[in-house]
Structure 1
Amino acid sequence: MSTPAKIAMAGGFTFDMTDVDGVPEMTLIADTVRTLKSRRLRNDDILLCTYPKSGTHWTWEILNMIVAGKAEYTKHWQNSAWLEYRTEEELEELASPRIFHTHLLPRQLPESVWRLGCKIVYVWRNPKDCAVSSFCQESSQMWKDGSQDKYNFTGSWDDFLSLYQDGYIVFGSIFDYTHDWNKTAEKLTICQVQYEDMKKNCANEIRRMAEYLNRPLPEKTYVEIAEACSFSNLKHANENIKDQTYHFKWQQGSSGYFRKGKSGDWKNWFTVAQNEKFDKIYEAKLKKPFPY
């Protein structure tokens, strides 16, 4: 019987995938995800929760600047604080307050997150833009140290979208992810941020996050952080200023994390039929019309 991970690999993904509690994960981190529930956190830990390609690098850098109280880039890439990728020993070395990022569902997170009442910032983005951005990254990346000289995904855009909207992709369905985090937000006080709102008025969203974290800053600092974390400035910093220790290495010519950083590019990719089908799935899964 085919599992979600097997369907994903048969559909064009070239890296090993394993199902963990019904969700396809990279085999590389499967054991960590399985044992994550028992991981010990600190009560001042901050979690940035996003589905892939929803502005993770952007928001993680902003949160670090809020905690630092100034528009100064972190030394390392965000992968240094990836909850499900780094070992517990590696994360223990980080100074408090630690700012983790994760793509996991609420039920996959450490139980101590809820027991300690850790601060949570949840960012979501138009799922059609997420799909396009994911396809462009996965179909343009080759691991530098990989054993296969293949891109992460070798199928067509149509192949990818079919897998994506059915949840046969790393970290599972974006619809399930959105549904579960929306339900969590109804029960707990978390900071919900929309990617498109950050594009319209980043300083305002930075202020909201700072107030949620009980770390209000001068108005000029919000503006300075927004400018430092603009797409072009943050891309330059990540590629040219930051320590590259935790930067995943790809073969020359492969795509990196930063592509366009814009909203609405999905209109250049989705056919009318694809758009209509996606909207129907969204409405069926989330019980409301597609909002974008």
Structure 2
Amino acid sequence: MDYLVKMSTPAEKAMATGINVDLVMIDGFVQSAMIMDNLKRLKDLPIRGDDIYLCTYPKSGTHWTWEILNMIVTGKAEYAKHWQNSAWLEYRTKEELEELASPRIFHTHLRPSQLPDAVWNQRCKVVYVRRNAKDCVVSFFSHFSKQIWKDSTLGKHIYTGSWDDFIDLFLNGWLPGGPYFEHTFEWTNLSEAHKDSEICRLQYEDMKKDCVNEVRRMAEYLGRPLSDHTYQAISDACSFKNLKHANEKIKDQTYHVHWQDGSSGYFRKGTTGDWKNWFTVAQSERFDKVYEERLKETFPY
């Protein structure tokens, strides 16, 4: 990647490496150009006290958890009408977000410091899901290297570079979803900036092992306890197979991202540990070294 030295910004370097999306630098980090205006207005977004925020790094079980939260709020295992993109905090306009009925269940890939200040001042409910970083990067690569937006004028997949270069883009924080390490560090150390904030922390792998228990934890955190039967029903309805079917065949497609024919959807495998089928020993060791340096912890998987 020596040819990238001549590029002036990480956003330009990422696009030169094979990211076929317009990228810009916002507050020192790479972001998709299409959300630049929304991010500028976000700090002053009007907040309701009963708003719920689902916060994840991309490819960390966002669709899954958002659907679970909606079922907890309604108290029954019925799918929300729209795709989660209808409530994507940084991609919807202020007017679109205002039209959502309370309690609004937003989802976002933003860091705590990027959220509206009122989220913390009004002590809104916040659910944070973390996932094994190596599974994240595999899912991210698969998503970007197989998708072509239906209205894409380039007619190219979102990413056309190599797997090895994609790992470096992830480690450098040059992907459109923002920097993984800064995102994880801020959420992991949230109490330093917001000492009085109580959030619900979840681990993707724990949700895969015992979804019923994690659904219960979310419901109790939201102050909306349900019966054991309902917890099981929600877990079943939100299994990978059932949720994939619902998103493709049942739910309203208004806010669904449309892909050209032959592109895969959001749902790939929904498994844990698939990274072992992708990483070489050298790539894994390179990843572990950066992971441990940036997060001050040993890679746990």
| TM category, shorter | over 0.9
Say what the alpha-carbon RMSD is for the aligned residues. Answer: 0.9
Q: Which residue in 2 is equivalent to 1:170?
A: 176
The reply to whether residue 20 of structure 1 matches residue 26 of structure 2 is yes
Residue in structure 2 matching 1:229, options 238, 243, 246: 238
Alignment partner of 1:147: what SS?
A: coil
Residue in structure 1 matching 2:70, options 64, 69, 86: 64
The reply to whether residue 99 of structure 1 matches residue 105 of structure 2 is yes
The reply to whether residue 202 of structure 1 matches residue 211 of structure 2 is yes
Residue 92 of structure 1 aligns to which amino acid in structure 2? E
CA displacement at 1:185 relative to structure 2: 4.7
Residue 243 of structure 1 aligns to which amino acid in structure 2? D
Residue 31 of structure 1 aligns to which amino acid in structure 2? D
Give distance in 2, aligned partners of 1:185 and 1:194: 18
Q: Which residue in 2 is equivalent to 1:272?
A: 281
Residue in structure 1 matching 2:272, options 254, 257, 263: 263
The reply to whether residue 41 of structure 1 matches residue 50 of structure 2 is no
Specify every segment of 5 or more residues in structure 2 that has no aligned partner in the other structure, as ranges.
Answer: 1-6
Deviates more, 1:163-172 or 1:138-147: 163-172
Residue 93 of structure 2 aligns to which amino acid in structure 1? T
Residue in structure 1 matching 2:165, options 154, 159, 183: 159
Give distance in 1, aligned partners of 2:177 and 2:43: 16
Scaled by the length of structure 2, what TM-score is found? 0.95
Give distance in 2, aligned partners of 1:168 and 1:95: 35
The reply to whether residue 215 of structure 1 matches residue 224 of structure 2 is yes
Q: Which residue in 2 is equivalent to 1:291?
A: 300
**1:76-116 superposed Cα distances (whole Å, 9 cap, x missing partner):** 00000000000110111111000000000111111111111
CA displacement at 1:173 relative to structure 2: 1.8
Give distance in 1, aligned partners of 2:267 and 2:177: 20
**8 Å Cα contact 1:44-1:118 kept in structure 2:** yes
The reply to whether residue 113 of structure 1 matches residue 119 of structure 2 is yes
CA displacement at 1:172 relative to structure 2: 2.1
**8 Å Cα contact 1:166-1:173 kept in structure 2:** yes
Residue 117 of structure 1 aligns to which amino acid in structure 2? R
**1:136-194 superposed Cα distances (whole Å, 9 cap, x missing partner):** 00000001011111000000111111111111111322111110101115632100000
Q: Which residue in 1 is equivalent to 2:248?
A: 239
Residue 229 of structure 2 aligns to which amino acid in structure 1? K
Provide runs of 4+ in structure 1 moved above 2 Å.
Answer: 185-188
Give distance in 2, aligned partners of 1:92 and 1:48: 17
Specify every segment of 5 or more residues in structure 1 that has no aligned partner in the other structure, as ranges.
Answer: none
Give distance in 2, aligned partners of 1:149 and 1:270: 29
Q: Which residue in 1 is equivalent to 2:198?
A: 189
Between the aligned residues of both structures, percent identity stands at 65
Scaled by the length of structure 1, what TM-score is found? 0.98
Alignment partner of 1:150: what SS?
A: coil
Residue in structure 1 matching 2:90, options 81, 84, 94: 84
Alignment partner of 2:189: what SS?
A: helix
Give distance in 1, aligned partners of 2:38 and 2:242: 33
Deviates more, 1:18-27 or 1:242-251: 18-27
Residue 235 of structure 1 aligns to which amino acid in structure 2? K
Give distance in 1, aligned partners of 2:211 and 2:123: 26
Residue in structure 2 matching 1:138, options 144, 164, 171: 144
